[in-house]
Amino acid sequence: MKEPAVLFRETLVSLLEEKKYPTLRDVLVTLNPADIAALFEELPADRLPLLFRLLPKELAAETFVEMEPDEQELLIRGFSDNELKEVIDELYLDDAVDIVEEMPANVVKRILRSADPDTRKMINEILKYPEDSAGSIMTIEYVRLRRQFTVEQAIKHIRRTGIDKETIYTCYVTDDNRRLLGFVSVKTLLLSDEEASIEDVMETNVIYVYTTEDRETVANLFHKYNFIALPVVDEEQRLVGIVTVDDALDVMQEEYTEDIEKMAAITPSGKPYLKTSVFALWKARIPWLLLLMISATFTGMIITAFEQALAAQVTLAAFIPMLMDTGGNCGSQSSATVIRGLSLDEIEFSDLLRVQWKEIRVAVLCGVTLAAASFAKLLLFDKVTLAVALVVCVTLAVTVLCAKVVGCTLPILSMKVGFDPAVMSSPFITTIVDAISLMLYFSVATAVLGL
């Protein structure tokens, strides 16, 4: 698939250089907003206001939504109050909120001042919901039907009001107090008799979420039920907004990127890698590296404590990396599996014992296999004494067991106490397992070899 952005880029640059603005505009309007935004980012920033003003109002607003915060801020700073108002008026409310959340305080003030009073009030309402909640990602622009409507009236209502709604395909039926009674899809409306009443064709088994629900759970519901929209209610079951499937996709991508970053001991930034400054990357990585480096001191202290034993049998040092690495890998496997299961809602706290029992059995199988392979290699290839081979293999098997139990337990416990389980992944598990494996190694060695 060749993306339009790639196809058009060179032509557009030359049109821009030759100042053929009407032609440029005619070409731009054939493109998708996401492609125009990607294109604008590749062009010199000082041309951005000029290019943006070429776009018709609606397309301009749609393109604005797709831009990176840096470019949005640059444009807003260049806008007259009137231009800003025009763009804000065209935005869907949830998009406006997303933009406001990314801007510095003085830009936010200008945006809110430019919005009409109703929009300003609604933006402020949504901003009050906690970050990462259903309330913070919902839009309040949806189609609301009355149960007394006929199908024909409902379609007319959609025709009259649908132009400003983010989706018209799922319509919600409420009573006079906005309490949610049911929903009906446009597919059902189109395939039903025009005379039928909404009450008869609506689906009353509605899956909904509260405004405070975690946004990742919301995204998982879209995956489970194949929705294209999901209603959001307040604590009195009144419909306050909807989340659409495109928001669920965004949430999924963002949450997943955050998970990967946390699992690699990086503070999530929310910015694409190539757009993040070297200093910002350093800031996101260094605290964890320092913390983990200091933690590794304990492992070093274990070695120091057994320095005499090590000096007496310096061969033992050669197997330290293998023991540490294998322990770390076993622990990482378990923690990654469990972290993923937790974020898919496949594993819950009540499964703790079940998970541990499963990991113990897997650990025994893995431990025996690895120890056997290692034993053969130690005797045949490394040609160590039987006693040393025994020390290494017993340590290995017990390390695998400890690693898998620690690896599966810590993410579940950390979720229980309210921390993100993703932090309890490879780097931390490895650090803990390193200390355990060396402690085991030297204890077994001193006992067996009589050091």
Within 299-358, the residues that bind its own copies by CB under 8 A are 299-301, 303-304, 307, 310-311, 314-315, 317-322, 324-326, 328-330, 332-333, 335-341, 344, 346-347, 351, 354-355, 358
**Which residue type occupies 283?**
K
- Restricted to residues 18-47, the positions that interact with its own copies (CB under 8 A) are 30-32, 34
- Restricted to residues 220-259, the positions that interact with its own copies (CB under 8 A) are 222-226, 228, 245-246, 248-250, 252-253, 256-257, 259
In the bound complex, what is the minimum distance in angstroms from residue 3's beta carbon to its own copies? 8
Looking at the Cβ atoms of 95 and 107, the one nearer to its own copies is: 95
DSSP state of 270: -
- How many CB atoms neighbour CB 338 within 10 A? 26
DSSP conformation letters of 403-423: HHHHHHHHHHHHHHTTS-GGG
In the bound complex, what is the minimum distance in angstroms from residue 167's beta carbon to its own copies? 8
Looking at the Cβ atoms of 137 and 339, the one nearer to its own copies is: 339
Looking at the Cβ atoms of 132 and 250, the one nearer to its own copies is: 250
Q: Could you tell me which of 290, 319, 292 has the C-alpha nearest to residue 303? A: 319
CA atoms within a 13 Å half-sphere pointing along the CA-CB vector of 198? 25
Q: Could you tell me which of 210, 127, 111, 226 has the C-alpha nearest to residue 169? A: 226
Near its own copies by CB under 8 A: residue from 6, 7, 45, 293: 293
Q: Are the C-beta atoms of residues 345 and 220 closer than 8 Å to each other?
A: yes
Near its own copies by CB under 8 A: residue from 55, 158, 239, 389: 158
Using CB under 8 A, count the residues that bind its own copies.
Answer: 118
- Number of helices (H), then strands (E), in the chain: 22, 6
User: Distances from the Cα of 435 to the Cαs of 85, 93, 297, 323, in angstroms?
Assistant: 60, 52, 9, 11
- Restricted to residues 159-178, the positions that interact with its own copies (CB under 8 A) are 159, 162-163, 168-169
Near its own copies by CB under 8 A: residue from 59, 151, 155, 240: 155
In the bound complex, what is the minimum distance in angstroms from residue 104's beta carbon to its own copies? 25
Looking at the Cβ atoms of 59 and 84, the one nearer to its own copies is: 59
Looking at the Cβ atoms of 85 and 271, the one nearer to its own copies is: 271
Q: Could you tell me which of 367, 366, 388 has the C-alpha nearest to residue 378? A: 388
Looking at the Cβ atoms of 107 and 184, the one nearer to its own copies is: 184
261 binds its own copies (CB under 8 A): yes
The residues near 167 (Cβ < 8 Å, ≥ 6 apart) are 142, 228, 229, 242, 244
Q: What's the CA gap between 268 and 280, in Å, rounded?
A: 11
| Interface segment toward its own copies; rule CB under 8 A; list 70-78, 105-113, 269-277, 409-417 | 269-277
In the bound complex, what is the minimum distance in angstroms from residue 156's beta carbon to its own copies? 10
Looking at the Cβ atoms of 79 and 92, the one nearer to its own copies is: 92
Looking at the Cβ atoms of 75 and 366, the one nearer to its own copies is: 366
Which two tokens mark 4? 């339009």
- Restricted to residues 95-124, the positions that interact with its own copies (CB under 8 A) are none
Looking at the Cβ atoms of 119 and 425, the one nearer to its own copies is: 425
369 phi/psi in degrees, rounded to 5: -60, -50
Near its own copies by CB under 8 A: residue from 105, 278, 380, 417: 278
Q: Residue 185: which H helix or E strand, with range?
A: strand 180-185
Q: Are the C-beta atoms of residues 250 and 238 closer than 8 Å to each other?
A: no
In the bound complex, what is the minimum distance in angstroms from residue 29's beta carbon to its own copies? 9
- Beta-strand runs (E) in 187-323: 209-210, 229-233, 239-244
197 binds its own copies (CB under 8 A): no
Looking at the Cβ atoms of 98 and 213, the one nearer to its own copies is: 213
- How many CB atoms neighbour CB 203 within 10 A? 12
In the bound complex, what is the minimum distance in angstroms from residue 177's beta carbon to its own copies? 21
In the bound complex, what is the minimum distance in angstroms from residue 354's beta carbon to its own copies? 7
- Restricted to residues 352-411, the positions that interact with its own copies (CB under 8 A) are 354-355, 358, 361-362, 365-366, 369-370, 373-374, 377
Q: Beta strand 180-185 with 209-210: parallel, antiparallel or unpaired? A: unpaired
In the bound complex, what is the minimum distance in angstroms from residue 274's beta carbon to its own copies? 6
Q: Beta strand 180-185 with 170-174: parallel, antiparallel or unpaired? A: antiparallel
Site string for its own copies, 407-436 (x = CB under 8 A): -------------------xx--xx--x--
138 binds its own copies (CB under 8 A): no
Q: Beta strand 229-233 with 239-244: parallel, antiparallel or unpaired? A: antiparallel
The residues near 44 (Cβ < 8 Å, ≥ 6 apart) are none
- Restricted to residues 49-78, the positions that interact with its own copies (CB under 8 A) are none
Q: What's the CA gap between 48 and 262, in Å, rounded?
A: 35
240 phi/psi in degrees, rounded to 5: -115, -15
Near its own copies by CB under 8 A: residue from 13, 50, 54, 266: 266
In the block, residue with structure tokens 């919005």: 115
